[in-house]
Amino acid sequence: MEILFSSLAILARWDVVLALLVGSVGGVVIGAIPGVGPAVAIAILLPATFSLDPIVGLTALLGIYGSSMYGGAIPAILINVPGTAVNALTTYEGTPMTRRGEARRALSLAYSASFCGGVFSVICLIALSPVLAIVAPMFGSREIFLAALLGIILVILAHRGRVLAAGMTASFGIWIGTIGLEPVKYSQRYTFGQSWLAGGVDLIVVVLGLFALSQAFLLLVEPDKANKSEGISGGLFVGFKELLRHKRVAAVSSSFGVVMGMIPGVGEFTAQFLSYTYAQRTSSSPETFGNGSPEGLVASEASNNAVPAAAMIPLLALGIPGEALTAMMLSVFYVHSVVPGPQLFQTQMDFVIALYIALLILNVLVIAFLLVSTNQLLRVIEIPTRFLGVAILTLSFVGVYSLRNSAIDCAIAGGFGILGFVLKRLSLPIVPIILGMVLGGIMEIKLRTSMMRVDTPLDFISRPIAFILFLIILLVVAAHIRGIWLSRKTKGITHHGR
């Protein structure tokens, strides 16, 4: 109880409350603008959060992360254009409902399902916190190294059909992270005699280039367009009543979101796929899926909104981000010398609980904002894409320059912006680069630390958790290889059958 009161005291500050309001409302607006997305917004805001207290900066970023999917459902339902990438599945059911004249019903149901998923995940994680406080200290250097290795393997294998490309971009990210002074003996690596490379390549510069600048370039080279939408008449509270008729789908989908969010490299897309498949297979009317099924809409929105809170588990407990947005948040911890990991749960449990309560409040703020201002939000859908491109470009370079007042950082960000633009045009994965930089650094430090206490290779997995993680890595790799073999065998049989 004392920890709870301490957590509430951390949140009961005017700057934290303001950060929650700005993050939640700003995230909804960003999510509702097609072509921007939370990654771009968080990348642009990162430099500004470094001057704030950790709790203030993180609540603002969490607000954008957790609320953007709410806003992303608006254009997905009304104009068949997902506001964020994870709202793509929402278009399958939301747009047909709009065409039937049920736009208000679809939006209301999407908001209700999103609120259900978000609140359910936070409640689960608050309940799990005492368990995490016991388990997290059992992770030493070896365990964290293996967990980071498992995370990067899962990130690569999650890119189905593009595993080789994901592996190459992750390796590129790991290499970028090695540039500069190495962390033990401080010898220079890959600096080629250039003094400006001695400090390494800053993660935020790379993030701004790959996500924000590349998106600005895309918006500027594509034809200018402004989406049109019609207003919604009537209240949006009816969705909560209808959600009760689909409470089984909402509960299972939220559970999928929590479980998938805790696994590095998996995230919203896998949670959505599993939830949507489950809803379709157990539905009494599966033929309606893809043609405006309320159950499909609930499955999509409940699962993706349950992920953000769950994704904080590996970040806070082990210091291992599962995807790009939590990797960006990790940099906020590092700037303020707050090290996520086992010690955080032992020494700053009130800080952890405060973040979870902030996520709970965030969902309440967002749903209240959406229920009264959806029609006003429709105006942001109509912003011309060229204008967005110029705004993102300007804000990105201002953010990069403000980090260290360095024109070299701006040039590096521009280079990564061009790289990100090319990768996006070729449909190649970008996220593994960021996770490669972050997880590669963690793996190197933990490996070199653990090797001081290891005499033989078997000693590395002599502890129970290390051995379990090692087995999971072997099983994941073996399952992937088996999947490739079965796929080729099936293709071979099909080819001979012809």
Q: What is the pLDDT of residues 45-99, one digit of tens each?
A: 888 787 788 788 888 888 888 888 888 888 888 877 777 777 777 888 888 888 8
Residue 231 has a pLDDT of 59
| Gap between the terminal Cα atoms of the chain | 69
H-type helices in 263-384, by residue range? Answer: 267-282, 294-318, 324-335, 342-347, 349-381
Query: Rounded distance, CA 325 to CA 496, Å?
Result: 46
The yes-or-no verdict on residue 153 having pLDDT over 70 is yes
> Of all residues in the chain, what percent carry a pLDDT higher than 90?
4
Query: What is the DSSP track for 13-71?
Result: SHHHHHHHHHHHHHHHHHHHSTTTHHHHHHHHHHHHHTTS-HHHHHHHHHHHHHHHHHH
Indicate the pLDDT class of residue 134, thresholds 50, 70 and 90. Answer: confident
For residue 235, what pLDDT band results from cuts at 50, 70 and 90? Answer: low
Confidence at residue 494, expressed as pLDDT on a 0 to 100 scale = 59
pLDDT of residue 385: 78
Say yes or no to pLDDT of 236 above 70. Answer: no
158-198 pLDDT, tens digit per residue, is 777 788 998 999 999 999 988 888 877 778 888 887 887 88
Contacts of 346 (CB under 8 A, 6+ apart): 133, 136, 137
Model pLDDT, residue 417: 92
- Work out the pLDDT band at 234, boundaries 50, 70, 90: low
For residues 235 and 36, the model is more confident at: 36
Mean pLDDT over 439-463 rounds to: 82
CB distance 111 to 238 below 8 Å: no
Whether residue 243 is predicted with pLDDT greater than 60 in this model: the reply is yes
- Cβ distance 317 to 342 under 8 Å? yes
pLDDT value at residue 475: 92
Beta bridge partners of 188: 181
DSSP state of 1: -
pLDDT at 230: 62
Q: How far apart are CA 268 and CA 73, in angstroms?
A: 14
Q: What is the pLDDT of residues 284-336, one digit of tens each?
A: 887 887 788 888 888 888 888 888 888 888 888 777 776 777 787 787 777 76
Side-chain half-sphere of 218: how many Cα atoms within 13 Å?
21
Cβ 97 vs Cβ 106: under 8 Å = yes
Give me the torsion for CA of 286, 305, 263, 351, rounded to 10°.
-160
- Looking at residues 443-457, what average pLDDT do you find? 81
Residue of 275, 293, 292 lying closest to 284 (CA atoms) = 293
Is the predicted pLDDT of residue 498 greater than 60, yes or no?
Answer: no
Mean pLDDT value of segment 118-129: 84
Mean pLDDT of all residues belonging to the chain: 81
| Amino acid (one-letter) located at 328 | M
Closest CA to 265 of 106, 148, 93, 419: 148
The per-residue pLDDT for range 25-38, each reduced to its tens digit, is 888 888 887 767 78
DSSP secondary structure letter of residue 404 = H
**Quick one: pLDDT at residue 169?**
92
What percentage of residues in the chain have a pLDDT greater than 70? 93
Which token pair is 422?
């090319």
Structure confidence by residue, pLDDT tens digits, 10-24: 888 888 888 888 888
| pLDDT score, position 422 | 93
Closest CA to 344 of 324, 327, 319: 319
Q: How far apart are alpha carbons 366 and 30 in whole angstroms?
A: 13
Burial of 102 (0-12, 13-18, 19+ CB in 10 A): middle
Give the DSSP H or E segment for 188: strand 188-189
Phi, psi of 340 (to 5 degrees): -65, 145
CA-based nearest residue to 71, from 360, 304, 258: 304
pLDDT given at position 95: 82
Q: Which candidate, 266, 302, 270, places its Cα nearest to that of 121?
A: 302
Of the listed ranges 33-37, 120-124, 284-288, 393-397, the least confidently predicted one is 33-37
Is the four-CA dihedral 175, 177, 181, 184 of positive or negative sign?
negative
Q: Model confidence at 1, in pLDDT bands (50, 70, 90)? A: low
What is the three-class DSSP state of 189?
strand
- What DSSP character marks residue 138? G
How far is the C-alpha of 255 from the C-alpha of 337, rounded, in Å?
A: 33
The pLDDT of residue 429:
85
Residue appearing with tokens 């293709």: 491
CB contact at 8 A, 61 and 329 = yes
pTM of the predicted structure, to 2 decimals? 0.79
